[in-house]
């Protein structure tokens, strides 16, 4: 099978690109011919080259001014034009050089351009969705013209694949029936319980009697990281051994640091910036709890990574979290934006190490079906089925002429 992927590949905050690169490497390891067309910034060029030099993937990069990671709003028109020019040139060269069996679109924003290009070339296409179409389109988050354009493009793809049940339901709200579920997954060899790294703990300023509260994200408004600071100010007044570690970077980092200073709690916070994905398990295994106060998620890989490491997950009560957390058994939840509830639950976990151990252990035991290899197999089956259906349609159309 010759698969042409179009979408982000550099490991960006939030995990989607990490997921895509692992999926493509997994498909290539199964013997498929996998090529990719992906955006890259000038600053990330060397990292991108090094990352995929180690794999047997063929990647054609096109330059963009920055990586577009916002999911709640469409990209700027100026950005979209740069993306369109790069995509069209790279797609034309890839298809002319060797015609693929299928085009796989790795993010909804790329559906602005790619489905109609695939249709023009008479190639089947599959959209791997990660966002929230019903919220963005039905609920009026996207401007009317942008919403209309996206819907038109979604209808051109042969199949949409979503990583969470609530996202499948969201596409159904849009009247899109050809949607399948492949649950989000992680590499369970990479994310597993392991001894705490004392060297890393020292670098982060963690002491043996600290209760480590971690947050990992791209620090955008949808992640609501400022809720963590507001809660920490109240929680530290009652439990001064709490220590907060924020892993990641993004538009709200400066606001977070300023809020910590304003609350006088900056000495109880560490900000790591971006860390290499291979190091993320070390960070999670240092955590007594991982807090994700998001307003909305597709299905955060951090949820799964935390549970696979046997650590305690504390998340806002949103549809994505409900798909992985059995409250009181595999994690705890609190209402979105409820600082008092977040604080009370944090303190409950801080004061009950036996509860943390039980939640982490039970979460680890519930990871069946979340392994990356299973997801790669499911995607391989879906891609094969879409290609076979397209060939049958072509054969029937040829017979009818």
Q: What is the pLDDT of residue 137?
A: 74
Encode pLDDT of 5-59 as tens digits: 998 887 554 456 567 888 998 999 999 999 999 988 887 777 666 666 656 678 8
The 8 Å CB, 24+ separation contacts for 259-264 are 259/226, 259/229, 259/230, 260/229, 260/232, 263/229, 263/232, 263/233
Which residues is 289 bridged to in the sheet?
213, 312
Encode pLDDT of 204-250 as tens digits: 999 999 999 999 998 989 899 999 999 999 999 999 999 999 999 88
Claim: this prediction has a pTM higher than 0.85: yes
The DSSP result for 120-143, as a single string, is HTT--EEEE--S-HIIIIITS-S-
Which residues is 215 bridged to in the sheet?
246
Tell me, what DSSP letter sits at residue 365? Answer: T
The 8 Å CB, 24+ separation contacts for 139-146 are 141/72, 141/73, 142/73, 142/74, 143/74, 146/74
- The band of 73, judged by pLDDT with boundaries at 50, 70 and 90, is low
Q: What is the pLDDT of residue 56?
A: 67
Encode pLDDT of 133-159 as tens digits: 767 776 667 778 888 888 999 999 999
Of residues 56 and 359, more confidence is placed in 359
Cα–Cα distance list, 72 to 108, 222, 259 (Å): 11, 8, 24
The DSSP result for 241-267, as a single string, is TEEEEEEB--TTHHHHHHHHHHHT-GG
Q: Which domains does the chain have, with CATH numbers?
A: 2-185+371-400 (3.40.50.2000), 198-364 (3.40.50.2000)
Tell whether the model's pLDDT for residue 351 goes beyond 70.
yes
């Amino acid at each position: 099978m010759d698969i042409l992927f179009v979408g982000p590949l550099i490991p960006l905050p939030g995990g989607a690109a990490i997921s895509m690169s692992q999926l493509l490497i997994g498909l290539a390891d199964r013997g498929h011919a996998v090529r990719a067309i992906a955006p890259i910034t000038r600053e990330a060029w060397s990292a991108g080259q090094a990352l995929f030099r180690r794999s047997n993937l063929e990647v054609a990069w096109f330059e963009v001014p920055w990586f577009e990671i916002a999911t709640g709003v469409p990209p700027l028109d100026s950005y979209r034009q740069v993306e369109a020019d790069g995509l069209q040139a790279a797609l034309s060269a890839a298809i002319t050089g060797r015609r693929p069996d299928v085009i796989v679109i790795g993010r909804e924003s790329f559906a602005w351009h790619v489905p109609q290009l695939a249709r023009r070339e008479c190639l089947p296409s599959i959209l791997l969705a990660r966002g929230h179409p019903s919220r963005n389109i039905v609920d009026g988050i996207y401007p009317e013209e942008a919403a209309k354009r996206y819907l038109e493009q979604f209808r051109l793809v042969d199949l949409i694949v979503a990583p969470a049940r609530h996202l499948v339901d969201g596409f159904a709200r849009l009247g899109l029936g050809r949607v399948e579920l492949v649950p989000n997954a992680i590499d369970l060899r990479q994310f597993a319980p392991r001894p705490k790294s004392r060297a890393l703990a020292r670098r982060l300023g963690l002491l043996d009697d600290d209760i480590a509260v971690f947050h990992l994200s791209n620090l955008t408004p949808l992640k609501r990281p400022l809720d963590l600071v507001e809660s920490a100010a109240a929680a530290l007044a009652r439990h001064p051994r709490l220590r907060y570690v924020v892993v990641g970077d993004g538009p709200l980092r400066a606001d977070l640091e300023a809020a910590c200073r304003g609350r006088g709690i900056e000495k109880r916070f560490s900000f790591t910036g971006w860390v290499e994905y291979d190091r993320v398990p070390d960070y999670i295994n240092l955590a007594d709890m991982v807090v994700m106060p998001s307003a909305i998620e597709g299905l955060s890989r951090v949820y799964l990574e935390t549970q696979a490491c046997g650590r305690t997950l504390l998340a806002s009560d949103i549809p994505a979290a409900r798909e992985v957390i059995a409250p009181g058994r595999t994690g705890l939840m609190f209402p979105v934006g409820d600082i008092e509830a977040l604080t009370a639950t944090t303190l409950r976990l801080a004061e009950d190490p036996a509860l943390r151990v039980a939640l982490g252990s039970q979460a680890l035991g519930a990871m069946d079906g979340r392994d990356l290899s299973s997801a790669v197999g499911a995607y391989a089956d879906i891609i094969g089925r879409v290609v076979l259906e397209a060939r049958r349609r072509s054969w029937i159309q040829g017979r009818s002429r």
